[in-house]
Amino acid sequence: MKECYLGIDIGSISTKGVIIDENNNIITSSYIWTEGNPVNAVKKLINILKKDLSSEYIIKGIGTTGSARKLIGLMLKANIVKNEITAHAVGTLTFYKDARTILEIGGQDSKIILLKNGIITNYAMNTLCAAGTGSFLSSQAKRLGIEVKDFGKYALKSKNPVKIAARCTVFAESDLVHKAQIGYKKEDIIAGLCKSVVLNYLNNVGKGKKIEGPVIFQGGVSKNEGVVKYFKEILNQDIIVDPNSHLMGAIGIAVLARKNKNGNTYSLKVDDIKFDTKPSECNLCSNNCELLRIYRNGTLVDSWGSKCGRY
């Protein structure tokens, strides 16, 4: 039997999964929407991945990353659970050993990771605002009546991108409506949005950071040719977009699952797993902690939220 490893990146908007072999080659992968339910999304994802996995493979490691990594790690009994910064860095360095800067823009968050000699030296993430992320672009595409996958193609047609105030989603939408009402072409508005995403990212997430090449751009927004174009223009250097840029977090955590395998073999039979979360409040002291109790097939496996460590 051949050994393989599953990596899952569970985000607020999308859930990504890959299965790799001993040499980090991708056997199968999938990218689906989380739809507000990470447990159901992961079950659906795994069933998709299983269809492309031949019977000669056995799963010897499972890793989870992303905003719901702890929850899904408990569900799948993962042998490693790591944050997105680590997972993206490991995934990138697996294929680009000399990478110095990682630019990542996802559905609702964005991050920058600085590397030197294969080690993370600095990083930053966006704060509470999702302006300039994938969900921001999706909402603007819907407002303009086009598919978000066509956004970049429209942007490349533009000869005169308009200025869009993208520091805040509300202001950007108001600005977009105003520009449309006074007669700007759709491609110029879209190009302006793409450029504003880049400026917003560099002025906030990348503020104070020295961006050196090789620069790797990843996350769902890296598939937008317009955003890539303006990163190249504004930074005045080449931007590398890997064909699997949208999967790099999942790849990274799969690599870590391989490196940290514990001898166990894992099943991908997830349909029968009953995984429940039950909120409660502890009134034993003045903290009144809000607890979240996690049950796997009716058995309590963890409790979160206790400030004193009682649970």
Q: For 6-42, write each residue's pLDDT tens digit.
A: 999 998 889 999 999 999 999 999 999 998 899 999 9
Query: Could you confirm whether domain 97-241 is CATH 3.40.50.720?
Result: no
Q: Provide the pLDDT for residue 85.
A: 95
Pairing of strands 80-81, 57-66: parallel
pLDDT of 79 over the 90 cut: yes
Distance (Å, whole) CA 99 – CA 283: 51
Q: Which pTM value belongs to this model?
A: 0.88
Per-residue burial over 121-145, b = 16 or more CB atoms within 10 Å of its CB, e = otherwise: eebbebeeebbbbbbbbbebbeebe
Q: Provide the pLDDT for residue 183.
A: 76
Query: What top-level class would CATH report for the domain 2-90+250-259?
Result: alpha beta
Distance (Å, whole) CA 204 – CA 198: 10
Q: Confidence class of residue 131 from pLDDT cuts 50, 70 and 90? A: low
Distance (Å, whole) CA 191 – CA 164: 9
Q: What mean pLDDT is predicted for residues 98-103? A: 97
Residues forming CATH 3.30.420.40 domain(s) in the chain? 2-90+250-259, 97-241
Q: Please give the helix or strand (H or E) that residue 4 lies within, else none.
A: strand 2-10
Q: Provide the pLDDT for residue 170.
A: 65
Q: Provide the pLDDT for residue 139.
A: 77
